[in-house]
């Protein structure tokens, strides 16, 4: 059995002192522009320490080629283009600093929003979170939707990551193998809200979000 790590939201995060991306047989990163390390267009990378998997991946990324123009397996065109690679190379040295800023913003939210009828993200022992998102959970869908509208009416726009779980997507209904009914996943998708989270947010802006949430009638 192989362990595939989805690191799309976890550049720089750690688990028991090890970098996310170093734990799986295959580790997949997204460099979509909003990610902690983001390009200016689509991009991604796969990391592995397994030579056989590496060779296979190198073939799949380029039409299944073993040698130029000779496809020996089903492949795709999935090369990271050079402009995106150059942007990512320039941004990589700033990743830790940007993650630290995300952590500072998260600590303000965690401190200021405690005591409200909101479930806040919990940090598990041995985990270093890099807060790609700051997701809160409300009592039910009605409260979640009202809070989202209230914040939007006050120029604070929040998104839901994600509103429809995979097993409820029209194309995947009854096609995803699951251990059970995934009731908790379905409930979460109705009750979660992602608060503004990006390194450029100022403390004043974070506190504006906090004040608005505190003034909301739960």
Ligand X SMILES: Cc1ncc(COP(=O)(O)O)c(C=O)c1O
Binding site for ligand X (CB under 6 A): 6, 8-9, 30, 32, 44
CB-based burial, 124-137: b 16+ in 10 Å, e otherwise: eeeebbbbbebbbb
For residue 76, the minimal CB distance to ligand X (Å) is 12
Closest residue (Cβ) to ligand X?
30
> Which is closer to ligand X, CB of 27 or CB of 59?
27
Query: Smallest gap, in angstroms, from Cβ of residue 138 to ligand X?
Result: 21
Q: Determine the Cα–Cα distance for residues 64 and 77; give it in Å rounded to an integer.
A: 9
CB-wise, 162 or 218, nearer to ligand X? 162
| Cis amide bond preceding 162, omega within 30 | yes
* Pick 46 or 151: Cβ nearer ligand X: 46
Question: Which among 49, 37, 23, 131 has a CA at the least distance from the CA of 80?
Answer: 37
Residue closer to ligand X, measured from CB, 46 or 98: 46
CB of 48 to ligand X, least distance (A): 17
Judge residue 142's burial from the number of C-beta atoms within 10 Å of its C-beta, 0-12 exposed, 13-18 middle, 19 or more buried: exposed
Q: How far is residue 87's CA from residue 33's CA, in Å, rounded to a whole number? A: 11
- What is the smallest separation between the CB atom of 67 and ligand X, expressed in angstroms? 28
């Amino acid at each position: 059995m192989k362990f595939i790590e989805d690191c799309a939201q976890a550049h720089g995060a750690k688990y028991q002192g090890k970098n996310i991306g170093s734990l799986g047989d295959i580790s997949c990163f997204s460099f979509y522009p909003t990610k902690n390390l983001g390009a200016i267009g689509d991009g991604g990378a796969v990391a592995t320490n397994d030579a056989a998997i590496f060779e296979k991946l190198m073939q799949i990324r380029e039409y299944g080629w073993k040698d130029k123009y000779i496809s020996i397996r089903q492949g795709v065109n999935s090369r990271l283009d050079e402009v995106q690679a150059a942007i990512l190379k320039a941004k990589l040295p700033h990743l830790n600093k940007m993650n630290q800023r995300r952590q500072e913003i998260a600590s303000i939210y965690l401190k200021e929003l405690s005591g409200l009828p909101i479930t806040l993200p919990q940090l598990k022992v041995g985990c270093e979170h890099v807060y790609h998102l700051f997701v809160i959970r409300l009592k039910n869908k009605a409260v979640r939707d009202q809070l989202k509208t209230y914040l939007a009416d006050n120029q604070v726009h929040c998104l839901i990551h994600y509103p429809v779980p995979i097993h409820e997507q029209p194309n995947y209904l009854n096609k995803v193998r699951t251990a059970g009914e995934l009731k908790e996943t379905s409930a979460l998708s109705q009750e979660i809200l992602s608060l503004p989270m990006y390194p450029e947010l100022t403390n004043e802006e974070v506190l504006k979000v906090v004040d608005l949430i505190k003034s909301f009638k739960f």
